[in-house]
Structure 1
Amino acid sequence: MPHWIPFRSTADFTRDAADLRTAWPQLHAGDAEPWPHDADVLHAWALFHAGQFEQARHAGLTAGPAGWTAANKATIVYALYLEPDARRQLELLRQAAERAERQALEEPRNPNARFWQAYALGRCAQRGSVTKALAEGLGSKVRDLLAEVLVLEPGHADARLALGTFHAEVIDKVGALVGGLAFGARTDTGLKLFQEAHAIDPHSIIGRLEHARALVMLEGDAGRQAAMRLYESAARAQPRDAAEHLALSLAQAQWLQCVPDPSA
């Protein structure tokens, strides 16, 4: 297996156990991951937040099923932000989805086992044909998994973001009428999910990015001004860890695309 490309930044997100404990509520405001009492699992999370994604994956897998959430999140973040090869991205996302599915069997009350399975499958669909994925039932599977996450953990902001994205993607690809009849996708439900996620985790950079994308998909030109404000807000945010630092770079790129060129 090829080595992963390392995360590089002038910012240092390394934390010792005490600092990590203090920062934990903010770091995991989105996914509601509980504080790990196993030292090996905590070590995997410390590596993840510091941007040592390959090491976090290895440490999480070594720690057993309790550490698979850290391993899966590290794998997915690396695949989405740092892996340059599209085929390798899909391979990593599928690995994480399969591992999360096994984890859900080991830990049926663990909402993040289902969440990372749904998230990885959804990202796989986005990298192929969303319409084909819907026709093959993948969209409904992702939707149902996310609904199960919210039953297990009603305060899961990231599940709301992902479910809001599901509504937006379906309506964008097949239209509001077909999307509503075939998949239960609704514009008002999608927008409400993003608002609820923001209320739970208002500092999320990726939350603002996903909300901005969804506004354009759901409202078209009417949503562009609000989307631009979200891109600007995300681009000016302070990242909480290495993963958000990567999201910040994406937000800044998106914001620059929105800003009119004064020389034009």
Structure 2
Amino acid sequence: MHLTFDWQGALRRARHGAKESVAGEHAPPRPAWKRFPYGDRVYRYGGTALLSNWCRLHRADREPYPTAENLVELLRANPALEPHAADPDGLAVQVEEAWRSFHAGDFADAVDRGLAAGPVGGVVAVRAATVYARHLEEDPQQRITILREAVDSAAALVRLAPNWANAWYAHGAALVRYSQHLSVVKALSQGLGSKVRESLHRALQLESGHAAAHVALGVYNAEVIDKVGVVVGGLTYGVRREAVVDHFEVARTLHAQSALVLAEYAHASLLVLDGARTGRTHALCAEAAACQPVDALERLHLEWALGEIEAGPDYP
């Protein structure tokens, strides 16, 4: 599949409400995105199956199911979205299909459908782009381009929807991944660290049970400590080893038996908690590998954990 995405057009729609094509004739072509490598039908929830499994699929982010009623509630909480959502019934179907593609691992289609729905589809579009860039994109330049555009799109979205927890989470998570691939040190020098904390803490203020925001904060603390050290990280950026554990333990409480939570915890442990020596990383990877993934994102984390177990050193 070869697709073109007009991200800048998406930003203009978010800011001005312009009715533009998502993949317009003049949009620059983008290299085709890779397919999800573990089967394109394994996690496709057709018909009513998406609704039936929604609570489990969204336990980490608490995103409401995209019904017209829930979209109306979102618009009431974020009045600036209203001019971009004249048909909640039609938009609910579009966003539902975008999430269906997201969970199936068809990330390009999820972005396409999310952008087509306008700002109310922004969260699923940004999430899909971020996940794809982090897990499947192999070209470093293309990866950083996707993540930068995801950050820009999410920044436009939070201006329109400051009371949408997952808009803030999508922005913070995209910033975390962008910072990793830009280089954490460079990102910190540009002041992105404070933006990460602001967005993720805002998500938690709006939704205290947001396990995914705790995961992202745990990752952020671990990455900063890994790159600049405990002392500089603490004094300059306010990160702590204890915060890594705290955030991940809260996430585990909120979302037990999640391959995503456990694999990210294992990676953070490897970075800053001396995980290779203590066996913490191995234990967490083993737990992640024993989970039953419910969608493509969890499967990608499970496969990472399996790879670490297979390729890692002999843990005590």
Root-mean-square deviation (CA), in Å?
A: 1.8
Match of 2:171 among 110, 117, 125: 117
Any runs of at least 4 consecutive aligned residues in structure 1 with deviations exceeding 3 A, and if so which? 221-224
- Name the SS of the counterpart of 2:280 in structure 1: helix
CA pair 110-17 structure 1, distance change in 2 beyond 3 A: farther
Q: Give the structure with higher Rg (CA).
A: 2
Greater shift, 184-193 or 218-227, is seen at: 218-227
Q: What is the CA–CA distance in structure 1 between the aligned matches of 2:130 and 2:276, rounded to whole Å?
A: 32
Q: Is the 8 A contact 2:218 2:248 kept in 1?
A: yes
Match of 1:87 among 133, 141, 150: 141
- Specify the alignment match of 1:182 in structure 2: 236
Q: What is the CA–CA distance in structure 1 between the aligned matches of 2:291 and 2:277, rounded to whole Å?
A: 21
- Specify the alignment match of 1:22 in structure 2: 52
Q: Deviations over 1:223-252 (max 9, x none)?
A: 631111001111222111112222222111
Greater shift, 240-249 or 151-160, is seen at: 240-249
Alignment partner of 1:5 is 2:59:
no
- 1:47 CA drift (Å): 1.3
Q: Is the 8 A contact 2:285 2:305 kept in 1?
A: yes
Alignment of 1:170-209 (within 5 A): 170-209=224-263
Residue 49 of structure 1 aligns with an amino acid whose one-letter code is H
* TM-score, normalised relative to structure 2: 0.78
- 1:16 CA drift (Å): 2.1
* TM-score, normalised relative to structure 1: 0.93
- Specify the alignment match of 1:160 in structure 2: 214
Q: Deviations over 1:75-131 (max 9, x none)?
A: 111111221211101111111111111111121111111111111111111113212
Q: Deviations over 1:134-190 (max 9, x none)?
A: 222111211121111111111110110111112222222222222222111122222
Greater shift, 70-79 or 211-220, is seen at: 211-220
Residue 58 of structure 2 aligns with an amino acid whose one-letter code is H
Residue 59 of structure 2 aligns with an amino acid whose one-letter code is A
Alignment of 1:1-264 (within 5 A): 1-10=30-39, 12-37=42-67, 38-220=92-274, 224-258=278-312, 260=314
Q: What is the CA–CA distance in structure 2 between the aligned matches of 1:90 and 1:150, rounded to whole Å?
A: 27
- Specify the alignment match of 2:70 in structure 1: none
Stretches of structure 1 lacking an aligned partner (at least 5 in a row): none
